[in-house]
Amino acid sequence: MDTRVCLICELEKPLDEFRAGRNRCKDCLSARQREQRHTAEYRKQNAARMRQYRTEHQEELREYARKRWAANPEKHRAQARRSRERNKDKIAEQNRKWRAKHRDELNARERQKYAENSNIRAQMYEWRKKNPERWAEIAAKCRAKFRDKAAADTRRWRKENPEKARVLDRKGKLKRRAREAATYCDLTREEEEYILSHGCLFCGTHEDLTLAHNWPVVEGGPTTLWNCFCLCRRHNCEMGTRTLYEVEEATWN
């Protein structure tokens, strides 16, 4: 029987224990490969080879995965579910990194979706009305999680949109006064802009305009389209808690 001496273990062994054209036996080669697999350099090279293979055979791998899934979908769903449960934290961290890296792209996609489908906002408002408790819970979590970011975004928006900020401040003030006086406020932004577009009822100016109430809020007057009219800040302060009839009566007398 023909034999050969292994260059690693220096033992004389039959030729069938050697690979063709090698001077190292199969056992020594296997042991050397096992040792290499535990080194960082080997893992790095192996990962690079796998990435290159997946890139070059992307369509083939997708087709193979689709066939395997179609052959036994329940089994693969269960495997995917178990994998997600085992690696929940790792998947969440990967998703956070991916969203941070593609934030501009995601924002542009969301803006395009809202621009193409005008019903999304209406559907969202309808869901809020049907699920007020769930919406309050989600909003509270978001405020607690993004408190600093929301405050910074609000300050930047108010600086960039001073006119809109003043309109929102006026509306918030009206709502607070209505709550304190146990009245109600159902004036929409479009209705408020319509009232303010006519200018001051007394002097006709279009500067420093405010909403005035014919039936005062402190006496229970609601903030509605039929009870509100436009006055400049000076005339609104002069009117105080009087009605239009009382102001006209005092002017003529």
Would residue 61 count as lying in a domain?
Answer: no
- Are 148 and 181 part of one and the same domain? no
Would residue 229 count as lying in a domain?
Answer: yes
Identify which of 37, 221, 244, 150 has the alpha carbon closest to the alpha carbon of residue 252. Answer: 244
Q: Count CB-CB contacts under 10 A for residue 160.
A: 9
- Are 197 and 155 part of one and the same domain? no
- Are 146 and 201 part of one and the same domain? no
Would residue 110 count as lying in a domain?
Answer: no
For residue 181, pLDDT over 80 is answered with no
- Are 198 and 141 part of one and the same domain? no
Per-residue pLDDT of 75-118, as tens digits, reads 888 998 999 999 999 999 999 999 999 989 998 888 888 788 77
Would residue 226 count as lying in a domain?
Answer: yes
- Are 173 and 242 part of one and the same domain? yes
- Are 156 and 196 part of one and the same domain? no
- Residue 237 pairs in a beta bridge with none
Buried b (16+ CB within 10 A) or exposed e, 70-106: eeeeeeeeeeeeeeeeeeeeeeeeeeeeeeeeeeeee
**Residue 55 and residue 14: Cα distance in Å, rounded?**
42
For residue 185, pLDDT over 80 is answered with no
Q: Count CB-CB contacts under 10 A for residue 8.
A: 13
Would residue 139 count as lying in a domain?
Answer: yes
- Are 156 and 179 part of one and the same domain? no
Per-residue pLDDT of 26-82, as tens digits, reads 888 888 777 776 677 777 888 888 889 988 999 999 998 888 888 888 988 899 899
pLDDT score, position 93? 92
Q: Identify the CATH number of the domain in which residue 175 sits.
A: 1.10.30
Would residue 66 count as lying in a domain?
Answer: no
For residue 157, pLDDT over 60 is answered with yes
| Helices (H), ranges, 117-224 | 119-130, 132-145, 147-160, 162-180, 189-196
| Residue 189 pLDDT class (50, 70, 90 cuts) | confident
Q: What is the mean pLDDT of residues 182-210?
A: 83
pLDDT score, position 23? 76
Q: What is the mean pLDDT of residues 160-188?
A: 74
Q: What is the mean pLDDT of residues 220-245?
A: 85
Q: Which two tokens stand for residue 207?
A: 């500067």
Residue recorded with tokens 């296997």: 30
What type of residue sits at position 246? E
pLDDT score, position 30? 81
| Residue 209 pLDDT class (50, 70, 90 cuts) | confident
**Residue 180 and residue 173: Cα distance in Å, rounded?**
11
- Are 246 and 166 part of one and the same domain? yes
pLDDT score, position 183? 63
- Are 222 and 170 part of one and the same domain? yes
pLDDT score, position 178? 64
pLDDT score, position 97? 92
The number of distinct structural domains making up the chain is: 3
Q: Which two tokens stand for residue 9?
A: 């273990």
Provide the domain limits for residue 7: 3-42
Q: What is the mean pLDDT of residues 212-238?
A: 84
**Lowest mean pLDDT, pick from 85-89, 155-159, 168-172:** 168-172
Would residue 203 count as lying in a domain?
Answer: yes
Would residue 106 count as lying in a domain?
Answer: no
- Are 246 and 172 part of one and the same domain? yes
For residue 144, pLDDT over 70 is answered with yes
